[in-house]
């Protein structure tokens, strides 16, 4: 055998490492803290989101300072993430010596605050490329690309929001940037060093995201499997909509569909309907879309379908316990539903970060600390991730800030007028279910199959026969 033939045989015998297998090696590699292994490649530009990535809390949470027309103070009102402090001290200077540049891309509405805090933390000199304005994160990166001349594949991006309406990692990864999803921010050094090592092994193909656990996923991989989801939005005049779905433990995503992909080409769906679909590539524009959409009909004659909406604690408990009698939103979620409509209340997994201002509002009505704590509790066995109560809606109407700032109104909402949404829905009554029901949460009003026996006495339970696209209600004795 010639030398060339032997060399070719050896090459064929050595397995080629895929990007995924290389990323698995990165996350399993043992290394001392703060000492990433020698990198074969580094990005030319590293870009950071700000809120809940570089610093905490998110600026929208500082409403009290906004009302008082004060500017947040670095190190007092806003803190750098612990891991980010180490990155700034130990890694940024070394990477800058290698020619790596740094930038910021933030969609915060608190633009002046963000610029002020960057200056207070001394980051403006270290991060010369700064894009801070609400809107599309892709626009941030287009501007940075034009300013630097750096290709997207030479960039690494850190953000706490992966996908969905407010997601950033997925759309930026579509541009060719390697995105690192850090839902808890850069809370330790490993978030940063793992991303650097993964970048070094990256094959520079688009749509790759470094997940929170260090694994790498391809957000553009279409699936031939049928995927369950909920119809989130229908735009009838333009004949398209969105289906919300979830894969594994990842955040919920929205998938576009056209009415042509509905059964018989007709819009036989209602927002909140359960469907299954396949993900395919739209031949007209090359983007992913939902196709072969099928409505999931009730298969269990012992269950019925009811509408559900989700709230986070403590406000879910305040509503279920009868204290909160007004629900405010800035969107029109409840507008389509007539007075007297009944829905289930689902408890989300998050705690709404209002800085305990609801306690201040409740105390203004004379409640003691003990009474407030009781109203904020759910019954034993009723917890997050469950539908816990049934409510009857009253009127839905629009209000002014002056109306929302009335003390009695604020107590009925459990929030200050400035923090409340402008569209108000009355909660005529609420009652706990006979037992909680595990339900997967979703945005807006969605639907779930329930055992009718859990509905408390004196309430109506729907039948499974649709009437004009809405559920017909049958009375049950109480």
* Average pLDDT of the residues in 151-168: 88
Angle at the Cα of 79 (from 76 to 80), degrees rounded to 5?
150
Sign of CA dihedral 182, 183, 185, 190: negative
Task: Write the CB contacts of 237 (distance below 8 Å, at least 6 apart in sequence).
Answer: none
* Model confidence at 377: pLDDT above 80: yes
Phi, psi (deg, nearest 5) at residue 322: 85, 0
Q: What pLDDT sits at residue 88?
A: 96
Instruction: Please give the structure tokens belonging to residue 315.
Output: 């406000």
CA proximity to 423, closest of 309, 359, 332: 332
Q: Which DSSP letter does residue 88 get? A: I
CATH T-level topology, domain 305-475 = 2.30.130
Contact 40, 96 (CB under 8 A): no
Using a cut of 0.75, tell me whether the model's pTM lies above it: no
Q: What pLDDT sits at residue 262?
A: 73
Q: What pLDDT sits at residue 248?
A: 62
* Model confidence at 445: pLDDT above 80: yes
- The better pLDDT of the pair 63, 299 is held by 63
Contact 152, 177 (CB under 8 A): yes
Span 210-237, pLDDT tens digits: 988 788 888 765 444 678 888 888 887 7
Q: What pLDDT sits at residue 37?
A: 55
Mean pLDDT score of the chain = 84
% of residues, the chain, pLDDT over 90: 56
Q: Of the spans 137-146, 220-229, 234-243, 293-302, which averages the highest pLDDT?
A: 137-146
* Average pLDDT of the residues in 400-411: 96
Contact 211, 241 (CB under 8 A): no
Contact 106, 114 (CB under 8 A): yes
* Average pLDDT of the residues in 343-364: 94
The alpha carbon of 400 is separated from its chain's Cα centroid by a whole number of angstroms, namely 29
Number of other CB atoms surrounding residue 342 within 10 Å: 20
* Model confidence at 203: pLDDT above 90: no
* Average pLDDT of the residues in 13-24: 44
Class of domain 227-295: mainly beta
CA proximity to 439, closest of 386, 375, 391, 369: 386
* Average pLDDT of the residues in 143-154: 95
Q: What distance, in Å, lies between the first and last C-alpha atoms of the chain? A: 91
Q: What pLDDT sits at residue 463?
A: 62
Contact 228, 222 (CB under 8 A): no
3-state SS string for 273-312:
CEEEEEEEECCCCCCEEEEEEEECCCCCCCCEEEEEEEEE
Strands 326-329 and 423-438: antiparallel
Q: What pLDDT sits at residue 361?
A: 95
- The better pLDDT of the pair 220, 468 is held by 220
Q: Please report where in the chains the tokens 């809606």 appear, as a residue.
A: 393
Q: What pLDDT sits at residue 13?
A: 42
Number of other CB atoms surrounding residue 97 within 10 Å: 8
Helices (H) and strands (E) in the chain, counts: 14, 22
Give SS3 for 12.
helix
Q: What pLDDT sits at residue 316?
A: 96
* CATH number, domain 13-218, options 3.30.350.10, 3.30.930.10, 3.30.70.270, 3.40.50.1000: 3.40.50.1000
Give the pLDDT band (50/70/90) at residue 331: confident
What are the C-alpha distances in Å from 282 to residues 255, 285, 287? Answer: 12, 6, 5
Structural domain spans, the chain: 13-218, 227-295, 305-475
Phi-psi region of 192 (alpha: psi -120 to 50; beta: other; left: phi over 0): alpha
Give the pLDDT band (50/70/90) at residue 352: very high
Q: What pLDDT sits at residue 476?
A: 33
- The better pLDDT of the pair 179, 266 is held by 179
Give the pLDDT band (50/70/90) at residue 63: confident
Q: How far apart are CA 190 and CA 44, in angstroms?
A: 20
- The better pLDDT of the pair 305, 365 is held by 365
HSE, CB side, 13 Å, CA atoms: give it for residue 115: 8
* Average pLDDT of the residues in 55-83: 92
Q: What pLDDT sits at residue 386?
A: 93
Is 49 catalytic? The answer is yes
- The better pLDDT of the pair 279, 91 is held by 91
Strands 208-210 and 178-181: parallel
Give SS3 for 164.
coil
Q: What pLDDT sits at residue 102?
A: 97
Considering the candidates 49, 154, 160, 163, report the single residue annotated as catalytic: 49
Give the pLDDT band (50/70/90) at residue 449: confident
Q: Please report where in the chains the tokens 């490329």 appear, as a residue.
A: 129
- The better pLDDT of the pair 317, 470 is held by 317
Q: What pLDDT sits at residue 163?
A: 76
Considering the candidates 51, 159, 254, 273, report the single residue annotated as catalytic: 51
Angle at the Cα of 61 (from 56 to 63), degrees rounded to 5?
135
Span 104-134, pLDDT tens digits: 999 999 999 999 999 999 999 899 999 999 9
């Amino acid at each position: 055998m010639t030398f060339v033939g032997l060399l070719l045989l050896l090459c064929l015998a050595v397995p080629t490492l895929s990007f995924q297998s290389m990323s698995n090696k990165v996350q399993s590699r043992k290394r001392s803290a703060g000492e990433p292994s020698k990198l074969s490649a580094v990005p030319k530009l590293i870009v950071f989101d700000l809120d809940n990535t570089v610093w905490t809390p998110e600026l929208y949470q500082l409403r009290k300072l906004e009302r008082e027309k004060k500017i947040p103070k670095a190190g007092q009102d806003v803190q750098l993430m612990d891991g980010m402090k180490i990155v700034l001290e130990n890694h940024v200077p070394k990477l800058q010596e290698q020619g790596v540049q740094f930038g910021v891309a933030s969609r915060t509405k608190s633009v002046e605050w963000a610029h002020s805090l960057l200056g207070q933390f001394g980051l403006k000199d270290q991060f010369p490329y700064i894009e801070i304005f609400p809107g599309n994160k892709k626009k941030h990166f287009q501007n940075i690309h034009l300013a630097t001349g750096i290709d997207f594949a030479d960039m690494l991006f850190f953000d706490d929001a992966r996908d969905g309406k407010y997601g950033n990692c997925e759309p930026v990864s579509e541009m060719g940037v390697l995105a690192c999803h850090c839902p808890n921010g850069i809370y330790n050094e490993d978030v940063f060093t793992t991303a650097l090592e993964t970048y070094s092994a990256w094959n520079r193909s688009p749509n790759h995201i470094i997940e929170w656990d260090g694994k790498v996923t391809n957000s553009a991989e279409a699936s031939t499997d049928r995927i369950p989801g909920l119809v989130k939005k229908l735009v009838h005049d333009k004949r398209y909509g969105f289906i919300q779905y979830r894969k594994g433990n990842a955040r919920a995503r929205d998938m576009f569909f056209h009415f042509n992909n509905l059964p018989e080409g007709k819009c036989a769906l209602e927002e909140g309907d359960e469907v299954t679909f396949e993900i395919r590539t739209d031949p007209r524009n090359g983007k992913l879309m939902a196709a072969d959409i099928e409505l999931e009909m009730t298969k269990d004659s012992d269950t019925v379908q009811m509408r559900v909406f989700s709230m986070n604690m403590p406000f879910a408990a305040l509503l279920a316990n009868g204290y909160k009698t007004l629900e405010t939103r800035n969107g029109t979620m409840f507008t389509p539903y007539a007075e007297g409509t009944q829905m289930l209340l689902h408890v989300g997994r998050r705690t709404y970060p209002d800085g305990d201002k609801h306690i201040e509002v409740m105390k203004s009505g004379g409640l003691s600390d003990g009474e407030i704590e009781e109203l904020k509790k759910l019954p034993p066995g009723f917890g997050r991730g469950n539908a816990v109560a049934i409510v009857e809606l009253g009127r839905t109407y629009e209000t002014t800030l002056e109306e929302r700032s009335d003390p009695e109104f604020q107590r009925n909402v459990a929030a200050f007028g400035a923090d409340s949404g402008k569209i108000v829905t009355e909660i005529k009554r609420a009652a706990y279910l006979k037992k909680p029901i595990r339900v997967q949460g979703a945005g807006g009003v969605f639907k779930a199959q329930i055992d009718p026996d859990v509905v408390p006495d004196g309430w109506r339970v729907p039948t499974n026969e649709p009437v004009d696209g809405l559920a017909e209600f049958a009375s049950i004795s109480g």
